[in-house]
Structure 1
Amino acid sequence: MKSRLIAGLVSALVALPIAAAPVASADRDTDFAAQLHGFGIYGQRDFNAWLAKITCKRLTTGVDADARESAVFLSQNLARTTTTEQVWQFLGAGIPLYCPEHTAALTALAGDHA
């Protein structure tokens, strides 16, 4: 009986991170949407989060060599009314939130203009 209890607890603990993961992701997507709204960037929350995640994947796989190329990709996929400044704000909010390992892609551009 005690071994069944332990097995049940272990199963519950293993399942806990799997069950909690979507909640963390949803909160991150909501936080991202709130940041975008502060910049005047609207649209479907899920689409904007997906676009940020795709941008990260493009940087990871080398499809985009740097943040400039990511900005071009975003400008082609965000609403036509999105300004250049808003594209960079989207990128500046998305990278730290969804792929902080690529923050250097943003800071490298800042160094280019220093």
Structure 2
Amino acid sequence: MTTLGRALAVAATAVAVMAGAAPAHADPDIDFANQLHRFGIYGQRDYNAWLGKITCKRMARGVDGDAYASMAFITKNLARGTTQEQVAQFLGAAVGTYCPDMAGALRGAAEG
């Protein structure tokens, strides 16, 4: 499995974890920020929430043809020095929080 494939497997796992976790707050943006902090991803909460939501919209509308394209979009919009694994974790957390119906795209990319 390639490094990118392993990163996507991490993202798919993050979605599974998010799906099984009961929300701690009524505000999904706070839950998303807390998830990102566990991965060592920081930054403005509103910006990260926007990036997670727009990533989901791009996936749903087919702007990003697959999970790899979504990761490229996220990479361009997160702080320099963010690792591939963190990008994959961000993607997994975004999908798990804002568009769990897109989880199949992550699993398919990780397996393919």
* Aligned residue type for 1:55: T
Matched, 1:62 2:50: no
Question: Bigger radius of gyration, 1 or 2?
Answer: 1
* Aligned residue type for 1:34: N
* Percent pairwise identity: 61
CA distance, structure 2, for counterparts of residue 110 and residue 61 of structure 1? 21
Residue 37 of structure 1: how far off its partner (Å):
0.4
Instruction: List per-residue Cα deviations over 1:48-105 (Å, max 9, x = no partner).
Output: 0000000001011110011110000000000002111100000011101101111011
Instruction: List per-residue Cα deviations over 1:11-43 (Å, max 9, x = no partner).
Output: xxxxxxxxxxxx94xx10000000000000000
Flag the structure with higher helix content: 1
Residue 110 of structure 1: how far off its partner (Å):
2.0
Matched, 1:79 2:88: no
* Aligned residue type for 2:100: P
CA distance, structure 2, for counterparts of residue 40 and residue 75 of structure 1? 15
Report which stretch shifted further, 102-111 or 41-50.
102-111
CA distance, structure 1, for counterparts of residue 81 and residue 111 of structure 2? 29
Residues 26-37 of structure 1: matches in 2 within 5 Å?
Answer: 27-37=27-37
Return 5+ residue gaps in structure 2 as ranges.
1-24
| 1:94 counterpart residue number | 94
| 2:9 counterpart residue number | none
